[in-house]
C-alpha cells in the first residue's frame, strides 16, 4: 500500500518517540522499582476489624526510623486520624476498607492509591521535611465523601 513520503517520516517520528517514552517508563518501573500501588494481599471486608494488622490500626515502628501505618478507610473517616510522624521516617501505608471503594491521597505527593474492599493496598513514602500533610478520600464513597480526610504531622 502506498503511503505519502512525508507521512512515512511523520509516522516513523511518532513511533520512535513512542519507543523512547515507553523505554523510559519501563526502566523506571522495572529497573528503578517505581511501580504503582498494586498490593496482592486479600482480606475479608466483613472481618476487617478482627483481622491483623487492622484489628490494631496505628503507627508501628518496624525498624530504624522505619514505620508501618496501618489504616482503615471507612465511610467517612480514616482510622487512626491525626498521626504524628518523625522527620526522615520511611513509612509504609497499609490500607483497606470494610465497606465501599475509597481513595487514599497524600496531597502534594505521589502517594495516591485506591482502597478496595477485599484487598489491602500499600505504598511507601519517606518524609524528608517537617510539616502537615492532608490525607483525603478521592473516590466518591457516599454523601459524606468530601468530609473524609485526616492529617499527618511530620515533626522534628
Partner 1 sequence: MERGVPVPSIGAKEARLAYAHVVISVLAVLIGGLAGLMQTLIRTGVIPEVFGYYQLLTAHGIMLGLVFTTMFIIGLLYALLAKSFGRFESFPTRVAWLGFWMIIAGAVLVTIMVLANKATVLYTFYAPLMADPVFYIGLVLFVVGTWLSAFAMFRMYADYKRENPGVHPPLPAYMSVMTMLLWVIATLGVAGTILFQLLPLSLGWKDTVGIELSRTLFWYFGHPLVYFWLMPAYIVWYTVVPKVIGGKIFSDALARMAFLLFLLFSFPVGFHHQLTEPGIDPFWKFVQVILTFLVVIPSFMTAFSLFATFELRGRALGARGLFGWVKKMPYGDVRFLAPFVGMLFFIPAGAGGIINASHQLNAMVHNTLWVTGHFHITVGTAVALTFFGTAYWLVPVLRGRTLTKSMNRIGLIQTGTWAFGMSIMSYAMHISGLQGNPRRTGPATYFSDALTREWIPYHIAMAIGGTILLISVLIFVYSMFNLSFLAPKGEEEFPLAETEEAAMETPRFFENWKLWITVTFVLIAFAYTVPIWHLIESAPPGAKGWVLW
Sequence-separated (6 or more) residues with CB below 8 Å from residue 89: 65, 66, 67, 126, 127, 154
- Minimum gap (Å) between residue 64 Cβ and partner 1: 27
In DSSP terms, which residues pair with 134 in a beta bridge?
151
User: For binding to partner 1 (CB under 8 A), which residues are involved?
Assistant: 1-4, 6-7, 10-11, 14-15, 17-18, 21-22, 25-26, 28-30, 34-46, 75, 99-101, 103, 105, 107-108, 110-114, 116-121, 132, 134, 136-147, 149, 151
- Minimum gap (Å) between residue 59 Cβ and partner 1: 20
Q: What is the DSSP letter of 79?
A: E
- Minimum gap (Å) between residue 90 Cβ and partner 1: 18
Smaller CB separation from partner 1, 38 or 65: 38
Smaller CB separation from partner 1, 61 or 134: 134
Q: Of the candidates 79, 32, 77, 19, which has an alpha carbon nearest to the alpha carbon of residue 54? A: 79
| Separation of alpha carbons 76 and 94, rounded Å | 18
Amino acid at each position: 500500500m502506498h503511503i505519502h513520503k512525508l507521512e512515512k517520516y511523520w509516522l516513523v517520528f511518532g513511533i520512535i518517540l513512542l519507543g523512547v517514552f515507553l523505554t523510559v517508563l519501563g526502566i523506571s518501573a522495572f529497573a528503578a522499582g517505581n511501580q504503582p500501588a498494586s498490593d496482592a494481599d486479600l482480606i475479608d471486608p466483613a472481618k476487617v476489624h478482627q483481622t491483623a494488622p487492622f484489628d490494631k490500626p496505628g503507627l508501628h515502628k518496624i525498624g530504624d526510623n522505619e514505620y508501618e501505618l496501618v489504616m482503615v478507610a471507612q465511610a467517612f473517616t480514616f482510622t487512626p486520624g491525626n498521626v504524628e510522624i518523625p522527620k526522615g521516617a520511611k513509612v509504609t501505608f497499609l490500607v483497606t476498607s470494610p465497606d465501599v471503594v475509597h481513595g487514599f491521597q497524600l496531597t502534594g505527593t505521589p502517594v495516591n492509591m485506591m482502597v478496595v474492599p477485599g484487598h489491602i493496598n500499600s505504598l511507601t513514602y519517606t518524609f524528608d521535611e517537617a510539616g502537615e500533610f492532608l490525607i483525603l478520600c478521592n473516590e466518591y464513597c457516599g454523601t459524606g465523601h468530601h468530609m473524609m480526610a485526616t492529617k499527618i504531622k511530620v515533626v522534628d
